[in-house]
Structure formats: structure tokens, C-alpha cells
Amino acid sequence: MGEQVGNTPLAVLGAGTMGLGITSLAVGHGVPVVLVESNSGNAAKAKAAVAGQLRMAQLMGALPADRERGAVTVTGTLAEVAAAGVVIEAVTEDLATKTKVLAEIESVTGPQVPLVSNTSSIPIDELAGCLADPTRLVGTHFMNPCYLIPAAEVVRGPRTSQHILDTVTGVLAVLARTPVVVRDGPGFVTSRVLHPMINDAIRVVQEGTATVEAVDTLMQDCLGHKTGPLRTADLIGLDNLADSLRVLAERTGDARSAPCELLLAKVSAGHLGRKSGQGFYDYGKAQL
């Protein structure tokens, strides 16, 4: 499986934060990628953004030194993914958008090609309902930055086939990620636990109990959270976090998961975190 992945393009749909991160991880491990982005502005910047992530990953020693970089092809048309061995959907966290893209991809790829959703919260079986063959869909939730996080959450839907699961875990092995397989459900494990916690941390700031810096320092130095919840929110992207929380609130009925007012205000102001240059912290300029 490793040799096949190395010689067969991986297709990634969406050149947002996660799409670029997944592309950079794959290219850095020698896997060619077809990156599909319909927004011409985002597409024009995609190769430079991937190159920037590769430079950072190399500086941090996070890429294998003995592999040539994979090629990146950026395109605006889904027809270009017909030859891909695996397709990873990383578009916006919206059910209608994801199901439309997945159904279109199913129609242009072979019946044995795994369809992977990088959704952070939408149940895999809910997405699989749009497919003629729901056994082809599996969730693989990469974390940002992809090149630094050594594990990936793999979500097996109730209709995901063993062949598809095995193929995708094989791809992760090529990318030097450790697959952790979990069952389906809103938010799976990581988002179901992490995102409401971050929402609570934001609410503490909103209520004036503590500053952003105090919350992160206490969570880091007292509770061992590596980056602090608010720096983590900026890394996730505050718009992505808000979308994920809405999905959780709608599908679990947990009022704690409804995005709090301060989070929504920052999203409305365009303060989306590292990618916009400002979130709970000021980064000076947009980060690649």
C-alpha cells in the first residue's frame, strides 16, 4: 500500500487551513497531491503557502530527509482527481457543502477509491447518506499543524468497509501518522472533548474572570495543556471553531457547545486567529 500511495496522487479538496496542511504533510513525505480549490484567489496562493509550511516543517525536523518532495498540482476542477488513489475532503464545516462535494467526487472516481472527510464534528454516517456507496466514506481528522501532530483520529462510520479503513490507515503510515480508530458520533473524541472546553475558556474571558494570557498560563502550567486553549483556538481558526461548536450543539443538544458571544464577535470582526493575523492574540500579519 505504501508504494501505491507514493506513486499515485492524493487528492485534497479545499485550500483552507486544513487542506493546505494535509497537502504539505503529504508532499513532504514524497506523495504527489492534486489540490482542488474553486476560489481563484486561494488557488493562486496555494503553492506558496505549501512551500512556506514545508520550510517550517523542515526547520523543525518534522519531515523525512531521505525522500524527494511530491509534486503539487493546483486545479479548480474536480475532474482532475479522477486518477487519485485517495481523496480527502477538507472544505468548510457545512453539511450541504460537504455532501455536494462528496457526491460529485464519488461520480468521477473509481469504486475502490476511499473518500475521506476531514470533518471535525459532522457524523460520518450523516455525510455518507449522500453517496450511492456509503461504504467508501471514512473520517480522518488531522490536527493543525499536520506536520507536527503525530496522530490522526480515524472515524469508522457504521457503513465504512474494512477495505476502505485498511487503505486509509495505510496512507497514514506512509505519512508517518499514527491512526487512532474511533466510532462515529458528533465531534468523535477530539472535538467533542476539546471544543466545548475551549468555548468555556473563552466564556471565562468574556465574563471578566481572567485575561486571555491568565487562562492560557493556568491551563499550561497547572493542567499541562501544551499551548493553552485560546492559543489553540487561534490555531484552529475561530471561524472553524464556531462552525464545529454549532454542529455539536445542534446534534447533541448540549447548550455548553453553543458558540459564546465573544467567539462570535471575533469571527464577525474578521479576527479568525493566526490565519488572519489576529484572534485572541495579535500575530502581526496573516500566518501561512
pLDDT tens digits along 194-214: 999 999 999 999 999 999 999
For residue 284, what pLDDT band results from cuts at 50, 70 and 90? confident
CA 152/CA 143 separation, integer angstroms: 7
Confidence at residue 286, expressed as pLDDT on a 0 to 100 scale? 60
pLDDT recorded at residue 3: 41
pLDDT at 170: 96
pLDDT at residue 268 in the model: 98
Q: Looking at residue 66, what is its pLDDT?
A: 87
Q: b vs e for 132-160, b when ≥16 Cβ sit within 10 Å of the residue's Cβ? A: eebbbbbbbbbbbbbbeeeebbbbbbebb
**Catalytic choice (3, 153, 207, 250):** 153
Ramachandran sector of residue 185 (left: φ over 0; alpha: ψ -120 to 50; beta: rest): left
**CATH number of the domain located at residue range(s) 2-183 in this protein:** 3.40.50.720
Average the pLDDT over 84-109 and give the result: 96
What's the pLDDT at 287?
54
CA nearest 89: which of 10, 30, 156, 153? 10
pLDDT number for residue 163: 96
Average per-residue pLDDT for the chain: 94
Contact call for residues 167 and 115 (beta carbons, < 8 A)? no
Task: For 42-57, write each residue's pLDDT tens digit.
Answer: 999 999 999 999 999 9
Are 147 and 175 contacting, i.e. CB atoms less than 8 angstroms apart? no
Among 71, 62, 109, which residue's Cα sits nearest to residue 88? 109
The per-residue pLDDT for 1 is 38
Q: Which of 230, 228, 242 is nearest to 270 (CA)?
A: 242
Taking only the tens place, the pLDDT of each residue in 259-274 is 999 999 999 999 999 9
Percentage, residues of the chain above pLDDT 90: 93
Is the pLDDT confidence value at 94 over 50?
yes
Q: Quick check: 91 and 13 in contact, CB under 8 A?
A: yes
Nine-digit cell at 193?
A: 472533548
Domain at 190-268: CATH code: 1.10.1040.50
SS3 for the chain is CHHHHHHCCEEEECCCHHHHHHHHHHHHCCCCEEEECCCHHHHHHHHHHHHHHHHHHHHCCCCCCCCCCCCEEEECCHHHHCCCCEEEECCCCCHHHHHHHHHHHHHHCCCCCCEEECCCCCCHHHHHCCCCCHHHEEEEECCCCCCCCCEEEEEECCCCCHHHHHHHHHHHHHCCCEEEEEECCCCCCHHHHHHHHHHHHHHHHHCCCCCHHHHHHHHHHCCCCCCCHHHHHHHHCHHHHHHHHHHHHHHHCCHHHCCCHHHHHHHHCCCCECCCCECCCECCCCCC
Q: Residue ranges of the domains in the chain?
A: 2-183, 190-268
pLDDT attached to residue 5: 53
Q: Has 153 been annotated as catalytic? A: yes
Say whether pLDDT at 179 is over 50. Answer: yes
- Check residue 4 and give its pLDDT: 45
Among candidate residues 46, 58, 48, 45, the one with its CA nearest the CA of residue 12 = 46
| Section 100-106 average pLDDT | 97
Nearest to 37 by CA among 109, 99, 92: 92
Rounded CA separation 34/26 (Å): 11
